[in-house]
């Protein structure tokens, strides 16, 4: 089977998963990371059942990565601790980010007799991408070419500028997050634990009276760590972080003051916090209708950074990889036309759903009054628009990206009237290992 040379820029969740997916699809993959593959920062991440299932299809081992299954999520009044709502976990899992990074990096090198491992290159900073020629230029003066380029270089990426032809940087929001990992052993005798960390797999979301802040807690790293995130948004946002910066610092005293407005037992967690804590200002990108141009496709936060109120950033990064791995599998020909056709189909499948998710993610799940539905109606069919929290979680958790891509691919290939379907034009066959420039020369 002919195969593509694939170049990926960025070694986070989106980049690594894309590398594994495209390698499993039979292609030759090189992944460039600006820093180190062992440099993952952050606390924990929750993934839905479809994301976890897809990762498992790539060889992902839940035991090796110390995944923690979510039993349910309870929404509490943060002052009275009254139960406001409860939803089942639905097969979701939570992971300590360094564990997840290590597992994905490990999988890039695990192959069978029909595959070759991904080539990983560290400390490679990109200066420019030529999407039409399929060339990436690096800051050290070197360059590399490929049939397909995947930009997965995070929220500060400029790759969408290349796709759209105009500057479109990610925008700072009015939401900040203080993320904290606490060893569960430290919490056992703490009143806080009886509320938020008493049952392994039990996740809790406590809302501050009057809104403007909430405390999210869930387990990770084999139920040894408890992940806490204090979200503050709107008028009560923290002023110490500059609007053009993503990361700043806050203090334990600042968090303690914010926790004073919650139930006293919740505030006792401050006894286990460091004096200085990282403070993240969340960034977003405007919804767009495409993420591709020429041989370039942009994925993950580089393409569609969104607020984490619904926890969908990492899930959609994995869905991007799943879509590419599915759409670029079982190729009978390799040509610029073929690549372009499949990337157009990627846009058709991914853009509407991602855009709707970005819009819905602007509002915390407990504040969803479906006021965003008028915007979503412009993107999705009426039958897909959620009307309550249960419907929203079902819409997020049950969507099967792989099945969708397979059906849409077959629909186009099986329709003789579709002149844009793969293989309908003049295409060249070649074996794996060439470059975009070599391919163009052959086609000339």
In 3D, which of 3, 186, 203, 229 has the Cα closest to residue 92? Answer: 203
**How much is the pLDDT for 369?**
80
User: Given CA atoms 403, 406, 409, 414 in this order, what sign does their dihedral have?
Assistant: negative
* Shared-domain flag, residues 161 and 291: yes
**pLDDT string in tens for the chain (444-residue length):** 678 999 999 999 999 999 999 999 999 999 999 987 766 566 899 999 999 999 999 999 999 999 999 999 999 999 999 999 998 888 899 999 999 999 999 999 988 766 789 999 999 999 999 999 999 999 999 999 999 999 999 999 999 999 999 999 999 998 999 999 999 998 888 899 989 998 999 999 999 988 899 999 999 999 999 999 999 998 655 556 665 677 888 899 999 999 999 999 999 999 888 898 888 999 999 999 999 999 999 999 999 999 999 999 999 999 999 999 999 998 888 888 999 999 999 999 999 999 999 999 999 988 888 888 889 999 988 888 888 888 899 999 999 999 999 999 998 876 544 544 444 333 333 345 554 444 443 333
Residue 59 lies in a domain: no
User: What's the number of domains the chain is made of?
Assistant: 2
Residue 444 lies in a domain: no
Strands, E assignment, 131-273: 135-138, 143-145, 148-151, 171-183, 202-207, 213-220, 225-233, 247-251
**How much is the pLDDT for 442?**
33
User: Given CA atoms 72, 236, 284, 378 in this order, what sign does their dihedral have?
Assistant: positive
Q: Residue length, the chain?
A: 444
284, 301, 323 — which closes off a domain? 284
* Shared-domain flag, residues 254 and 298: no
Residue 86 lies in a domain: no
Task: Determine the Cα–Cα distance for residues 121 and 293; give it in Å rounded to an integer.
Answer: 24
Beta-bridge partners for 95: 45
Strands, E assignment, 58-170: 68-69, 72-77, 83-88, 93-96, 119-121, 126-130, 135-138, 143-145, 148-151
Task: Determine the Cα–Cα distance for residues 187 and 199; give it in Å rounded to an integer.
Answer: 12
**How much is the pLDDT for 341?**
93
DSSP assignment, residue 48? -
* Shared-domain flag, residues 270 and 214: yes
**How much is the pLDDT for 39?**
60
Task: Determine the Cα–Cα distance for residues 403 and 322; give it in Å rounded to an integer.
Answer: 10
Residue 328 lies in a domain: yes
* Shared-domain flag, residues 262 and 393: no
* Shared-domain flag, residues 247 and 312: no
Task: Determine the Cα–Cα distance for residues 310 and 375; give it in Å rounded to an integer.
Answer: 17
Residue 139 lies in a domain: yes
**How much is the pLDDT for 435?**
45
Residue 134 lies in a domain: yes
* Shared-domain flag, residues 175 and 244: yes
Residue 209 lies in a domain: yes
**How much is the pLDDT for 368?**
84
**How much is the pLDDT for 419?**
44
* Shared-domain flag, residues 294 and 248: no
Task: Determine the Cα–Cα distance for residues 20 and 108; give it in Å rounded to an integer.
Answer: 5
261, 284, 307 — which closes off a domain? 284
* Shared-domain flag, residues 161 and 244: no
Residue 105 lies in a domain: no
* Shared-domain flag, residues 266 and 391: no
* Shared-domain flag, residues 132 and 237: no
* Shared-domain flag, residues 277 and 190: yes
Query: Which helix (H) or strand (E) segment is 343 a member of?
Result: helix 336-360
**How much is the pLDDT for 104?**
96
Beginning with the edge strand found earlier in the chain, give each strand of the sheet holding 135-138 in spatial order: 126-130, 135-138, 143-145
**How much is the pLDDT for 232?**
92
Task: Determine the Cα–Cα distance for residues 46 and 301; give it in Å rounded to an integer.
Answer: 16
Question: What CATH number is associated with residue 134?
Answer: 3.50.50.60
- Furthest CA-CA distance within the chain: 73
**How much is the pLDDT for 383?**
85
- Scanning 155-251, the segments in alpha helix (DSSP H) are 159-164, 184-187, 191-196
**How much is the pLDDT for 360?**
95
Task: Determine the Cα–Cα distance for residues 44 and 64; give it in Å rounded to an integer.
Answer: 16
Residues contacting 325, CB < 8 A, separation 6+: 18, 20, 21, 22, 24, 25
* pTM of the predicted protein model: 0.91
The residue whose two tokens read 């929404």 is 75
248, 266, 284 — which closes off a domain? 284
* Shared-domain flag, residues 201 and 251: yes
Residue span of the structural domain in which 133 resides = 5-35+122-169+286-413
Question: What CATH number is associated with residue 176?
Answer: 3.30.9.30
Q: 351 in the Ramachandran plot: left (φ > 0), alpha (ψ -120 to 50) or beta? A: alpha
Tokens of 5: 């040379």
């Amino acid at each position: 089977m002919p195969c593509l040379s694939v170049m990926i820029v960025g070694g986070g969740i989106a980049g690594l998963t894309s590398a594994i997916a495209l390698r499993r699809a039979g292609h030759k993959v090189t992944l460039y990371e600006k820093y180190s593959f062992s440099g993952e920062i952050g606390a924990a991440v929750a993934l839905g059942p479809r994301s976890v299932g897809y990762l498992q299809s790539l060889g992902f081992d839940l035991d090796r990565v110390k995944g923690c299954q979510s039993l349910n999520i309870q929404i509490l009044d943060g002052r009275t601790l009254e139960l406001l709502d409860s939803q089942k976990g639905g097969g979701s899992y939570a992971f300590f980010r360094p564990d997840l990074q290590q597992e994905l990096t490990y999988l890039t090198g695990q192959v069978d007799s029909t595959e070759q491992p991904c080539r990983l290159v560290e400390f490679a900073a990109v200066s420019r991408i030529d999407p039409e020629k399929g060339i990436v230029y690096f800051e050290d003066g070197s360059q590399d070419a490929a049939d397909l380029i995947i930009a997965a270089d995070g929220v500060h990426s400029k790759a969408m500028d290349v796709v759209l032809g105009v500057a479109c940087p990610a925008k700072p929001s009015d939401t900040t997050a203080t993320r904290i990992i606490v060893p569960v052993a430290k919490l056992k005798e703490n009143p806080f634990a009886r509320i938020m960390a008493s049952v392994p797999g039990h996740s809790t979301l406590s809302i501050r009276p009057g809104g403007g802040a909430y405390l999210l807690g869930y387990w990770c790293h084999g139920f040894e760590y408890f992940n806490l995130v204090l979200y503050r948004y709107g008028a009560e946002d923290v002023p110490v972080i500059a609007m053009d910066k993503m990361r700043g610092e806050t203090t334990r005293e600042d968090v303690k003051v914010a926790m004073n407005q919650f139930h006293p037992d919740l505030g006792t967690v401050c006894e286990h916090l460091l004096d200085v804590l990282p403070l993240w200002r969340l960034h977003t990108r405007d919804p767009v209708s495409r993420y591709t141009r020429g041989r370039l496709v942009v994925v993950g936060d580089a393409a569609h950074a969104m607020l984490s109120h619904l926890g969908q950033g990492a899930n959609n990064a994995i869905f991007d990889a799943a879509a590419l791995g599915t759409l670029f599998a079982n190729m009978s020909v390799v040509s610029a036309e073929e690549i372009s056709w499949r990337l157009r189909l990627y846009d058709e499948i991914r853009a509407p759903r991602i855009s709707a998710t970005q819009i819905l993610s602007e509002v915390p799940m407990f504040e969803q009054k479906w006021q965003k539905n008028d915007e979503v109606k412009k993107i999705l069919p009426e039958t897909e628009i959620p009307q309550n929290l249960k419907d929203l979680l079902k819409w997020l958790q049950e969507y099967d990206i792989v099945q969708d891509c397979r059906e849409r691919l077959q629909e186009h290939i099986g329709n003789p009237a579709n002149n844009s379907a793969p293989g309908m034009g003049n295409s060249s066959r070649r074996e794996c290992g060439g470059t975009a420039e070599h391919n163009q020369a052959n086609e000339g």
